[in-house]
Structure 1
């Protein structure tokens, strides 16, 4: 169903409710919003600037393109694009001594040589709609959030810390954040883009965050967006991508990392001697607290690729105790090996970053890609591609080569039994199949014939297919699985065009086969079926009481997401979904939250995502 966007979500008392904190109730009753955001206030309206006088009529004036005004140098975050001022004042010419005391930036400013923007005026882009995914490319409707309270949108994005329990929830949220959307009334396009880019960085979606920033001209960036862009550039190894910002807005930061980055950009801009001297001075006075000598040495090595090659820089990791994004990003971009002791102690950030860094060794990339696949950053096809590269590079040598060879057998062996045996080997011997292995084998599972000979593996095969959204392939197993089996439960919520309501007896049979702690899978099954409208109200209420699900209990968050679903605002539903799905694993999710998320997604036109999330809950619960 095509999403329809209403003019407003709530009015009157509803707006007051939405401005209040949105809390995740089960197991975490405190508000998820950061301090000071309990009652977000609207951003101040921008101060109008005097318009330029109209040009005198000439034969060519009508052809002059209309472009947006250049924003004031001081943005809503208090940043200023001024790099400094010259030592002269008024109209007095500076003395020779004053000129000699100026650095290059100050001299360029004095002589009017410093660029003010990097895009010609006629080519500058408006910020009325920002994003990389248009509606006809799969994005959400552009005006979805235009008339929603900016306090609600800001709270939903800022309050989501990044990690979601659901792979499919992550995929849906990324789609919303990447869509080409108009900002809420009263919020600037730069702030809206900055909020989204920051959340994408927290989710490990660094290339998407970089693309969002690049959709806005650099001279329109505010501090929030600039910081998010720099973080994305470093995480993707695209260090010189930040150079336009360093040239145009060099004074917006003054920390050591920013000074190193500016020196790198100076080197790539042709000022190699200046960059060398600046980095040597930085290396001599780093304090060893936030910045160490290794950081400056990496900057010197990177700058050397642009013309400082006569300066020998040795990178030694012996005295380095931990990784930082700066060290990891520059080392990866330079192709410098990082000691395993540092990588082993590093957090999830570095695994997410490594998945998309082509300069890293394949084993390191595959290790990160497995996490990226579990979390929704990587698709099944992207993960398969990495294993294919490993097989092409080294055949079946080593653990990764062995897995790659098994994966090849799972796809190309003419015997279905041999293919299934290879899939089982990739899944491992444990009762709980690693989720990234199910993602890896999704398309191989879809090639297994649906017949009674393989019925014993129907459940995990169906679960694997649904990780990649292969619901039509999974539907072939409908006549093979028995009512109440694990595979039956996945199909009950995962298939499109469900035929009739699920009976209470079928749910009871599923519970009899449910070995999960506290019948979690049964609880998720009931919540998913109720959210999809696939059980009667009587069956829902009966199982609600039986399992103590509290599906009818309301909170501010549930009221907000339910109302957004009713008016079919998929973008707002998805942002609120992210707020309610935070956590490291499915133990953080309650059936009641699952019910509200699935129901709102279905009503807003995102039934496919709703079905996949419900199936994932049963598979991973």
Structure 2
């Protein structure tokens, strides 16, 4: 995939100040950011008086760097779990009276460990603890964005951009670009702790359906440094990925940070896998027999089945779904991890969350994973190669049986048949007969489309072939069709914005020809083409202004959001551009995007060094608007 991004981004230059809520005009002009963005930053608290140095007796390793527990949440933080575990034993250490035998017998294992000072405070030796000055999973030399990109930006702006993005973006390539920024190894803005910054990013990745990436961000921070926000995001990611036991270090070190039913069941599961089978069995039995409505029977049964695999002896618990009216992430995650069959009536009513989770759960049947993977491909969670791999598993398991098997067989033909005409026919079969090809089908066939020779014989298929190639960023392969397509057609429009190193500018006459063939409502597709060309600098200012008036696009109208993203582009801060792009691209489909927003996004991405992503987003807009 020829998607190299220009190196040497100048990050962190310039302070962007946002004095009022950012406005969105994509169908709804109301602000989508949390309130308080325009509030002045609080004055810094006076520095506390230095504490006396600890005596050698109270500090086992005087040379170790202490880890400070971040308990603050900042704006919009979670109320639960901010405080660390109590440092004292029973009675807070205020009394020297020893507990009686009866009192000791009444204590559970955790309370006894706390009393005797045996409870661990961290799971990594002090010398091996990691700093939170930079958190992420993509270094700059691995494709991540510059580490100091956000270090000098106002924390209120960064927090509002991340927290205000609800998750779903209209653009597949916009999703990919935002994920890259969130996964990069970045320093937090000044005044924001590394744990809070990691928690904000992990929460947004969860909302985007990027559960594995959210889990990886959380795992890049030592558990004893997690605050409530990061802990909640980590548990959500563990459940969504079926990695239930991944939360056990948190259950050991910060067991009291939550007290809801699911957390108590999870702690019992972790207790079982820690070797305390009897205690876990008793706890789960009490929960199952409890009259507290908080404990639903199906939830406890799933926990008992899961804990039974650790040796409880009750792994034969029967899971009954008859009285279950809805799925929850807990039920779905545990059932999927156990390989338990979930009734179709529940799956039929399940929301997008469950499809996104299913895409990467290997314990689920391939038929369920395919449905989830198709959504994941449309949204940018799955790559083309990942989707092809999954269909290959379907073909290996069942051949051409069933709808997915038939698609897999056609995909195989599209790759290996010696006759290009037969390969194109197979691609047409996968795409279907509808006026608009499902986007996941275009993602699935990207590499097979790149194998079709550019020829007048297949000129009628050039549009869908080019659209399919560009879903995977195969711009050089798409460029082979430049001499085949007619100027002003759909295929020409995608190439006009999608190809690198475009020769010369695009004339107003070519855009006029495109408009003549544009059958979209209100000539939306032409508006997106003009916005993309203008943002990429491929039409003159005169041509831009002429079409801006002709189509009433309002490209030059300024808002605080457009001013912020434009300034971030000018100073070449790709990470901040990506975060602000997420704010402006929210929605379920391209009807939520305006040409004006697209223009500012494409322009800022190009200026900040993300021209490849800008071109792919512009081509996607022309194809899908």
- Superposition TM-score, scaled by structure 1 size: 0.95
1:570 and 2:567 correspond: no
Specify whether residues 65 and 620 from structure 1 end up closer, same or farther in structure 2 by C-alpha distance, changes over 3 A only: farther
Match of residue 29 from structure 1: 29
1:353 and 2:357 correspond: yes
Q: In the comparison of the two structures, how many residue pairs are matched?
A: 609
Tell me the CA shift for residue 286 of structure 1.
Answer: 5.2
1:70 and 2:74 correspond: no
Given that 1:562 and 1:600 are in contact with CA atoms closer than 8 Å, whether structure 2 keeps it comes out as yes
- Which deviates further from its counterpart, 593-602 or 65-74? 65-74
Kindly report which structure 2 residues correspond to 1:211-610, keeping only aligned pairs within 5 A, or say none.
Answer: 211-285=216-290, 287-288=292-293, 291-310=295-314, 312-610=316-614
Specify whether residues 310 and 434 from structure 1 end up closer, same or farther in structure 2 by C-alpha distance, changes over 3 A only: closer
- Which deviates further from its counterpart, 558-567 or 274-283? 274-283
Given that 2:446 and 2:472 are in contact with CA atoms closer than 8 Å, whether structure 1 keeps it comes out as yes
Given that 1:3 and 1:569 are in contact with CA atoms closer than 8 Å, whether structure 2 keeps it comes out as no
The two structures, once aligned, show a CA RMSD in angstroms of 2.0
Given that 2:135 and 2:186 are in contact with CA atoms closer than 8 Å, whether structure 1 keeps it comes out as yes
Kindly report which structure 2 residues correspond to 1:95-110, keeping only aligned pairs within 5 A, or say none.
Answer: 95-110=100-115
Match of residue 165 from structure 1: 170
Rounded Cα–Cα distance in structure 2 between residues aligned with 1:500 and 1:422: 36
Specify whether residues 73 and 582 from structure 1 end up closer, same or farther in structure 2 by C-alpha distance, changes over 3 A only: closer
Specify whether residues 90 and 144 from structure 1 end up closer, same or farther in structure 2 by C-alpha distance, changes over 3 A only: same
Aligned to 1:568, the other structure's residue is in SS state coil
Aligned to 1:477, the other structure's residue is in SS state coil
Given that 1:32 and 1:159 are in contact with CA atoms closer than 8 Å, whether structure 2 keeps it comes out as yes
Rounded Cα–Cα distance in structure 2 between residues aligned with 1:453 and 1:24: 45
1:416-452 Cα offsets, whole Å, 9 max, x none, are 0000000000000111100000000000000000010
Tell me the CA shift for residue 69 of structure 1.
Answer: 2.1
Aligned to 2:480, the other structure's residue is in SS state helix
Given that 1:525 and 1:614 are in contact with CA atoms closer than 8 Å, whether structure 2 keeps it comes out as yes
Tell me the CA shift for residue 37 of structure 1.
Answer: 4.9
Rounded Cα–Cα distance in structure 1 between residues aligned with 2:43 and 2:478: 48
Given that 1:81 and 1:248 are in contact with CA atoms closer than 8 Å, whether structure 2 keeps it comes out as no
Rounded Cα–Cα distance in structure 2 between residues aligned with 1:416 and 1:314: 54
Rounded Cα–Cα distance in structure 2 between residues aligned with 1:606 and 1:365: 32
Rounded Cα–Cα distance in structure 2 between residues aligned with 1:123 and 1:580: 41
Rounded Cα–Cα distance in structure 2 between residues aligned with 1:116 and 1:361: 40
Unmatched 5+ residue regions in structure 1?
none
Match of residue 215 from structure 2: 210
- Which deviates further from its counterpart, 346-355 or 398-407? 398-407
1:193 and 2:190 correspond: no
Aligned to 1:182, the other structure's residue is in SS state coil
Given that 1:42 and 1:151 are in contact with CA atoms closer than 8 Å, whether structure 2 keeps it comes out as no
Match of residue 3 from structure 2: none
Rounded Cα–Cα distance in structure 2 between residues aligned with 1:128 and 1:36: 26
Rounded Cα–Cα distance in structure 2 between residues aligned with 1:20 and 1:3: 32
Given that 2:467 and 2:623 are in contact with CA atoms closer than 8 Å, whether structure 1 keeps it comes out as yes
Given that 2:459 and 2:485 are in contact with CA atoms closer than 8 Å, whether structure 1 keeps it comes out as yes
Kindly report which structure 2 residues correspond to 1:105-120, keeping only aligned pairs within 5 A, or say none.
Answer: 105-120=110-125
- Which deviates further from its counterpart, 310-319 or 226-235? 310-319
Given that 2:69 and 2:84 are in contact with CA atoms closer than 8 Å, whether structure 1 keeps it comes out as no
Given that 2:326 and 2:346 are in contact with CA atoms closer than 8 Å, whether structure 1 keeps it comes out as yes
- Which deviates further from its counterpart, 73-82 or 159-168? 73-82
Aligned to 2:110, the other structure's residue is in SS state helix
Rounded Cα–Cα distance in structure 1 between residues aligned with 2:542 and 2:64: 60
Tell me the CA shift for residue 313 of structure 1.
Answer: 1.2
Tell me the CA shift for residue 20 of structure 1.
Answer: 2.0
Match of residue 82 from structure 1: 85
Rounded Cα–Cα distance in structure 2 between residues aligned with 1:73 and 1:50: 18
Tell me the CA shift for residue 309 of structure 1.
Answer: 2.1
1:117-150 Cα offsets, whole Å, 9 max, x none, are 0000010000000000000000000000000000
Rounded Cα–Cα distance in structure 2 between residues aligned with 1:418 and 1:74: 62
Specify whether residues 287 and 101 from structure 1 end up closer, same or farther in structure 2 by C-alpha distance, changes over 3 A only: closer
Unmatched 5+ residue regions in structure 2?
1-5
Aligned to 2:537, the other structure's residue is in SS state coil
Rounded Cα–Cα distance in structure 1 between residues aligned with 2:513 and 2:615: 21
Tell me the CA shift for residue 282 of structure 1.
Answer: 1.0
- Superposition TM-score, scaled by structure 2 size: 0.94
Tell me the CA shift for residue 215 of structure 1.
Answer: 0.1
Aligned to 2:90, the other structure's residue is in SS state coil
Tell me the CA shift for residue 155 of structure 1.
Answer: 0.3
Specify whether residues 46 and 399 from structure 1 end up closer, same or farther in structure 2 by C-alpha distance, changes over 3 A only: farther
Among 148, 153, 157, the alignment partner of 1:152 is: 157
1:278-337 Cα offsets, whole Å, 9 max, x none, are 11111122544x541100110010000001124641100011000000000000000001
Rounded Cα–Cα distance in structure 1 between residues aligned with 2:307 and 2:38: 45
Tell me the CA shift for residue 94 of structure 1.
Answer: 1.3
Tell me the CA shift for residue 34 of structure 1.
Answer: 2.7
Rounded Cα–Cα distance in structure 1 between residues aligned with 2:42 and 2:369: 43
